């Protein structure tokens, strides 16, 4: 239930500038995902919002109130850490109750809130266990439960799924999405380097690179109208095919980008090339074609493909599905 307004935010550690001037408005009740390659400053952004790091310059407001110097516990936030950070010597119940206990809430109220959160996350049977007696997925739930008990206005997640195996990751992702629906109007800020997580969870995505914001928008906006080559390459799987030189010049662009599902095999007037590899996933196939670009171009076909390795083919983009970029890599 809090909107977050960040203006010209900078953060440096000693001489190293990590966040280099960020402006961002996060709406109340929004699910905002920070995504970007490792080391781009996502965690630092999240920790600045949490108040775990001091702001070097710029301002941060929650609901219009300046929070630059406000302690984390006073901001109405809760955070789920990548390593879960459960207190190893406390039971699940104690872990979840710790914050409320420090805030001197009365015992009955603590019990009610913890049990409610536990029920929501289906960890009621484990309340008396120690963290080490739980599986990774259960620990993750406890960490989320601890955050819920704090009844935060802003929920912060730092790569909460990265320690889980693939199947559990998908299941937990779904639960986090459900959690957002069920907790009306809680603002969530979620950090990940995985663009699939970003696409599936986010109301809006904020793509970060090297301490700057590259683009902010809904998943579809980023997918369909990437602001630059970086975003185009980062969002979507497989990566957008990027082509330069003679491929781009007919479009009066420095670089053109075409997603794999927007390429098709044609019988004439296409880009000629040779199939060098084909991946069959059952529902789709990805055909890798060498047409003389730096990296092979990936073409998606539904179903299984009839193009065998070594065969000569021609491919062409669908009309209106070509992204154009200038020399600076920005979209035109």
Partner 1 sequence: MTPAWIKNTAFYAFVVFIVLQAVFPFYYAIVTSFKTGAEIFEISYYPRTFHLDNYYSVLFSGNGSFLRNIWNSVWVSTITVIVALFIAVTASYALSRVRFRGRSLMLMTILCVSMFPQVAVLAGLFEVVRALGLYNTDWSLIFSYTIFTLPFTVWVLTTFMRDLPIELEEAAIVDGATPWVIVSKIFMPLMWPALVTTGLLAFIAAWNEYLYALTFTASNDAARTVPVGIALLSGNSEHEIPWGPIMAASVIVTVPLIALVLIFQRKIIAGLTAGGVKG
Ligand X SMILES: Nc1ncnc2c1ncn2[C@@H]1O[C@H](COP(=O)(O)OP(=O)(O)O)[C@@H](O)[C@H]1O
Interface positions with Mg ion (CB under 5 A) = 43
Show contacts with ligand X in window 41-70 (CB under 6 A). 41-44
Q: Are 56 and 211 in contact (CB under 8 A)?
A: no
Whole-number Å distance between alpha carbons of 314 and 269: 8
Helix axes 166-182, 136-149, angle to 10 degrees: 20
- State the number of CA atoms in the 13 A half-sphere of 257 facing the CB: 26
Q: Which is nearer to partner 1, 12 or 135 (CB)?
A: 135
Interacting span for ligand X (CB under 6 A) from 13-21, 93-101, 139-147, 322-330: 13-21
Nearer Cβ to partner 1 (74/306): 74
Q: In the structure encoding, which two tokens stand for residue 106, read together?
A: 């009365």
87 is an interface residue for partner 1 by CB under 8 A = yes
Strand partners, 16: 13
Q: Which does 72 bind (CB under 5 to 8 A by kind): Mg ion, partner 1, ligand X, none?
A: partner 1
Q: Which residue among 36, 41, 131, 145 contacts partner 1 (CB under 8 A)?
A: 131
DSSP 8-state code for residue 309: T
The set of residues, in sequence order, having a beta carbon less than 8 Å from that of 272 and lying 6+ positions away, is 291, 312, 313, 314
Closer to Mg ion by Cβ: residue 43 or 260: 43
Stretch of 94-102, 186-194, 300-308, 311-319 lying at the interface with partner 1 (CB under 8 A) = 94-102
Do 32 and 3 meet the contact criterion of CB atoms below 8 Å apart? Answer: no
Q: Do residues 232 and 330 lie in contact, with contact meaning Cβ atoms separated by under 8 Å?
A: no
Least separation, in Å, of the C-beta of 13 and partner 1?
10
In 3D space, the residue among 30, 66, 50, 26 whose CA is nearest the CA of residue 58 turns out to be 66
Residues in the chain, overall count: 332
- Closer to ligand X by CB, 47 or 323: give it: 47
> Is 13 an interacting residue with respect to ligand X (CB under 6 A)?
yes
1, 85, 179, 324: residue in contact with partner 1 (rule CB under 8 A): 85
Residues 17-36 touching ligand X, rule: CB under 6 A, are: 18, 36
Least distance between ligand X and beta carbon 159 (Å):
8
291 neighbors 245 (Cβ within 8 angstroms): no
What's the min distance (Å) between Cβ of 239 and ligand X?
19
In whole angstroms, give the CA distance from residue 62 to residue 67. Answer: 7
78 lines the binding site for partner 1 (CB under 8 A): yes
Contact residues for partner 1 (CB under 8 A)?
Answer: 50, 52, 71-73, 77-79, 81-89, 98-99, 102-103, 130-136, 139-140, 146, 150, 163-164
Contact residues for ligand X (CB under 6 A)?
Answer: 13, 16, 18, 36, 38-44
């Amino acid at each position: 239930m809090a909107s977050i307004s960040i203006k010209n935010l900078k953060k440096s550690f000693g001489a190293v500038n990590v966040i280099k001037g960020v402006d961002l408005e996060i709406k109340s009740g929004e699910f905002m995902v920070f995504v970007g390659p490792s080391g781009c400053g996502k965690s630092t952004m999240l920790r600045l919002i949490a108040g775990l790091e001091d702001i070097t310059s710029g301002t941060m407001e929650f609901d219009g109130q300046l929070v630059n110097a406000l302690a984390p516990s006073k901001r109405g936030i809760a955070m789920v850490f990548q390593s879960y950070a459960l207190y190893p010597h406390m039971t699940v119940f104690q872990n979840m109750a710790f914050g409320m206990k420090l805030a001197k809430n009365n015992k009955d109220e603590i019990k009610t809130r913890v049990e409610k959160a536990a029920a929501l996350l289906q960890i009621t049977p484990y309340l008396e266990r120690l963290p080490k007696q739980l599986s990774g997925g259960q620990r993750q739930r406890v960490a989320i439960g601890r955050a819920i008990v704090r009844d935060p206005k802003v929920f912060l997640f730092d790569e909460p799924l990265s320690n889980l195996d693939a199947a559990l990751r998908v299941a937990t992702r779904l639960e986090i999405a459900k959690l957002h629906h069920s907790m009306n109007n809680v603002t969530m800020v979620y950090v990940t380097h995985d663009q699939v997580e970003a696409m599936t969870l986010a109301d809006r995505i904020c793509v970060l690179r090297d301490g700057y914001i590259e683009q902010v928008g809904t998943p579809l906006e980023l997918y369909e109208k990437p602001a630059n080559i970086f975003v185009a390459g980062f969002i979507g799987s497989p990566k957008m095919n990027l082509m330069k030189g003679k491929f781009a010049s007919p479009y009066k662009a420095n670089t053109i980008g075409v997603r794999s599902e927007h390429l098709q095999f044609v019988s004439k007037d296409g880009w000629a090339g040779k199939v060098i590899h084909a991946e069959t996933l059952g529902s789709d196939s990805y055909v890798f074609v060498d047409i003389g670009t730096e990296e092979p171009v990936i073409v998606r076909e539904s179903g299984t493909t009839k193009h065998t390795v070594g065969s000569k083919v021609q491919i062409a983009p669908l009309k209106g599905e070509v992204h154009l970029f200038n020399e600076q890599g920005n979209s035109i």
